[in-house]
Chain A
Amino acid sequence: MSALSIPVSAEDHIQGNPTAECTLVEYGDYQCPFCGQAYPIVKKLQKRLGKRLSFVFRNFPLTQLHPWAEPAAEVAEFAAANGKFWQMHDLLFENQAHFSNALFVELSEDLDLLPSQLQTAVSEGTYRPRVRADFSGGVRSGVNGTPTFFINGHRHDGSFDLDSLSEAIDQILSQRTHAKR
């Protein structure tokens, strides 16, 4: 239990150096307040570790708890299809307390995406299979809530505060450094 069953691939949204020594995968829900708390923490980790870390975000919307989680995930995937995943990912987390269809349109306009295309994509569920596939893969990997982090494929069962994640990542990096010697 608790190992990433779907390896990181070109299908993923990857931020940072794709050949980094350490890969942090987050299964997250845009409406989950804990994922909202984790968002700036991941940014800090990325800033501190630079090229040594790559970050992958996969969808895990808890639709019964968070009615906007699935639409928000589809909005992010729509942006991804237009090359703007990370911009939308950031905007969604920065506005997670105010989700509405009007907000999604506004955010799309901010990124120069066509609201009419967004509406078609959401109403036709164009990106739903992608979101569902992320979710199912997450379940198979032992994702047990949001956010769930995997560090080089292993589920991080500790807290997701900056110190706890940093420590777990540093441990992986130091093992790597020793292995090279």
Chain B
Amino acid sequence: MPSILPAGKAAPEFRLNVTPDQKLSLSELRGKPVILAFYPADWSPVCGDQMALYNEVLSEFQKHGAELIGISVDGVWCHEAFAKDRRLHFPLAADFEPKGAVAKAYGAYRPGEGVSERALFVIDRNGTIVWSYLSPVAINPGADGILQALENLAK
């Protein structure tokens, strides 16, 4: 079990493809709270799917001005097909090459399986992690912890 980066640490910078021809850097989002949701793989079972849940909760995240980014080691074309199928309205970043490098930087990589953990990070406007949570890989962590962290930020 790796130990994920805790609150108080600076969120490691990354620059990853979110579409086949578009990259997104974490630093571009400075000034807004950012939610990073690492998850093992696209195409997990439909109704219990973590990304599908966050898609529904997006408006509540946006009330806090927060940006959500899903991250897995899947490639851009896989992400694109998955996002289209599930009608996702937020970016999925491809931690694909070198594989899992961003997950490793956040302490959220599973070397045995070659995928990332189910790990959540809420990052404040200045790029500091204010909350992180590592979920058992088989359990979708829901959105309550994220919302609580965003509310605490607003205080």
Chain A residues with CB under 8 Å of chain B are 1-2, 5, 29, 32-35, 62-65, 135-136, 139-146, 157
Q: B97-139 CB contact bits vs A (8 Å, 1 = yes)?
A: 0000000000000000000000000000000000001000001
* Neighbour of A1 across the interface among B49, B53, B144, CB < 8 A: B144
Count B-side interface residues using an 8 Å CB cutoff: 24
Chain A hits for B147, CB < 8 A: 139-140
Chain B residues with CB under 8 Å of chain A are 46-50, 52-53, 55-57, 60, 86-89, 133, 139-145, 147
CB pair B47 A65 closer than 8 Å: yes
CB pair A62 B144 closer than 8 Å: no
The list of the 5 closest CB pairs from A to B, nearest first, reads: A145-B48, A144-B140, A144-B142, A142-B142, A64-B87
CB pair A65 B86 closer than 8 Å: yes
Query: What is the predominant secondary structure among interface residues of chain A facing chain B?
Result: loop
How far apart are the CA atoms of A33 and B48 in the complex, in Å?
Answer: 11
CB pair A139 B57 closer than 8 Å: yes
CB pair B52 A139 closer than 8 Å: no
Q: Given contacts A141-B144, A144-B141, A145-B140, is CB(A64)–CB(B47) below 8 Å?
A: no
Chain A hits for B55, CB < 8 A: 64
A-B contact count (CB 8 A): 67
Chain B hits for A143, CB < 8 A: 53, 142
Chain A hits for B50, CB < 8 A: 144-145
Which interface residue of B49, B56, B57 has the most chain A CB atoms within 10 A?
Answer: B56
Chain A hits for B87, CB < 8 A: 64-65
How far apart are the CA atoms of A145 and B57 in the complex, in Å?
Answer: 12
Chain B hits for A136, CB < 8 A: 60
How far apart are the CA atoms of A62 and B56 in the complex, in Å?
Answer: 7
Chain A hits for B86, CB < 8 A: 64-65
Across the interface, name the chain A residue whose C-beta is closest to B88. A64
How far apart are the CA atoms of A176 and B74 in the complex, in Å?
Answer: 47
Chain B hits for A5, CB < 8 A: 144
How far apart are the CA atoms of A142 and B52 in the complex, in Å?
Answer: 14
How far apart are the CA atoms of A5 and B144 in the complex, in Å?
Answer: 10
Which interface residue of B50, B53, B88, B89 has the most chain A CB atoms within 10 A?
Answer: B53
